Amino acid sequence: MIKKLTQLTFLVMLSAAAFAQTTPPATAPTGQPQQRRRNQPRHYAITIVNNTKVNVDTAQINADFKAVYPGFAAADGYRTKREVTMRIIDTAKKFTLSAVAGEIVVNGRWIKDKKNFAGFQNSLQEALHKNWTSVDTTRKDGYQLVFINKNSAFNPAIRKDLVETFFTVFPVLVSTFNDKTTHEVVFVTDTAYGGVAEASGNRILFSTKYMNAHPTDIDIVTHEGFHLVQGYGYSAGPVWLTEGIADFIRYKYGVDNIGSKWTMPAVTYCQNKRKEI
Ligand SMILES: [Zn+2]
């Protein structure tokens, strides 16, 4: 029961975040795609390809998709496909449905059953979450951390260290610098991600390849966590300044910079040089 409640809270949280970003309608009254304003996220869209004789209520499928997919995609990663094709196929096999980012496949014989159609939203959610190795929620002192692991080979000891570092450092940064920062954060480990780590909205994405190779570099949480506290949104200032501040915060509040042999870059002559007018 506790686990069920946890998952529900998690989904509500992600769905709310996703919908907050998709306010304008997907199409203009003429049917032409409406132009996206600069810096606005792309919309989520589903295209249903039905080559079977089964009639499905496409409005209901659209509603179910909108209730489930944006939350999944927002948690899954920055590059998770927003345009999804749903193919309804005719197969006598026991197959029901499968769903990965960008592609849903449904057995027409299965979905034409009223009971299955009524439960489509839950079935879709379940199928999408199968793409993740695990989802865990930790709550402490008014803060919540959802940890989505997409790599079964991710070292669990590092995962534990990342969570501990979050609960040690993040509340201090929030109360010291910006108490309007969200208290609900999502960590995602991604095998497809080529960088080290990055933060956006209420989510921090980690490369498992990097973390497995650098298990002591846990103060990435301090640096990336501070990007959430900075919360400059789309109108961020110069990158060097945003990053410089986050590095300084890591230097000052990090829990194990010595263990990870991390230091601030040395001051150079150029940094102190004043421009002559
Ligand atoms: Zn950074």
Confidence of residue 237 (pLDDT cuts 50, 70, 90): confident
Q: In 133-211, which ranges are E strands? A: 134-140, 143-149, 184-190, 197-200, 203-207
Residue 5 has pLDDT above 90, yes or no: no
Write the CB contacts of 111 (distance below 8 Å, at least 6 apart in sequence): 54, 56, 88, 97, 117, 120
C-alpha 206 – ligand 1 centre gap (Å) = 12
DSSP H helix total and E strand total for the chain: 10, 9
Q: What is the mean pLDDT of residues 252-276?
A: 79
Supply the mean pLDDT for the chain.
84
Q: What is the mean pLDDT of residues 169-185?
A: 97
Confidence of residue 267 (pLDDT cuts 50, 70, 90): confident
Q: What is the mean pLDDT of residues 129-158?
A: 94
Residue 67 has pLDDT above 90, yes or no: yes
In this prediction, residue 24 carries a pLDDT of 33
Write the CB contacts of 258 (distance below 8 Å, at least 6 apart in sequence): none
Rounded to an integer, what is the distance from CA 125 to the centroid of its chain? 15
> Among 72, 61, 58, 82, which Cα is nearest to 17's?
72
Least confident of 28-32, 48-52, 218-222: 28-32
Residue 1 has pLDDT above 80, yes or no: no
Q: How far apart are CA 234 and CA 191, in angstroms?
A: 26
Q: How far apart are CA 255 and CA 105, in angstroms?
A: 46
The backbone torsions φ and ψ at residue 154, rounded to the nearest 5 degrees and listed phi first, read: -75, 130
In this prediction, residue 272 carries a pLDDT of 59
CB atoms within 10 A of CB 82: 16
C-alpha 223 – ligand 1 centre gap (Å) = 6
CB atoms within 10 A of CB 147: 20
Residue 211 has pLDDT above 90, yes or no: yes
Write the CB contacts of 251 (distance below 8 Å, at least 6 apart in sequence): 257, 263, 264
Residue 20 has pLDDT above 70, yes or no: no
Residue 223 has pLDDT above 80, yes or no: yes
Query: What are the angstrom distances between the C-alpha of 263 and each of 197, 244, 254, 266?
Result: 18, 12, 11, 8
Confidence of residue 22 (pLDDT cuts 50, 70, 90): very low
Q: How far apart are CA 134 and CA 96, in angstroms?
A: 22
C-alpha 243 – ligand 1 centre gap (Å) = 5
Taking a 5 Å cut-off on Cβ, the residues next to ion ligand 1 are 243, 246
Least confident of 155-159, 208-212, 266-270: 266-270
Q: Which domains does the chain have, with CATH numbers?
A: 2-15+42-129 (no CATH), 134-253 (1.10.390.10)
C-alpha 126 – ligand 1 centre gap (Å) = 33
In this prediction, residue 37 carries a pLDDT of 52
Q: How far apart are CA 73 and CA 78, in angstroms?
A: 8
CB atoms within 10 A of CB 65: 20
Residue 45 has pLDDT above 80, yes or no: yes
Residue 204 has pLDDT above 90, yes or no: yes
Instruction: Identify the top-confidence range among 14-18, 37-41, 90-94, 163-167.
Output: 163-167
Quick check: 121 and 129 in contact, CB under 8 A? no
C-alpha 22 – ligand 1 centre gap (Å) = 26
Residue 16 has pLDDT above 50, yes or no: no
C-alpha 263 – ligand 1 centre gap (Å) = 15
In this prediction, residue 191 carries a pLDDT of 83
C-alpha 232 – ligand 1 centre gap (Å) = 13
Confidence of residue 31 (pLDDT cuts 50, 70, 90): very low
Q: What is the mean pLDDT of residues 135-164?
A: 95
Q: How far apart are CA 69 and CA 57, in angstroms?
A: 18
Q: What is the mean pLDDT of residues 201-214?
A: 93
Percent of the chain with pLDDT over 70: 81
Quick check: 87 and 106 in contact, CB under 8 A? yes
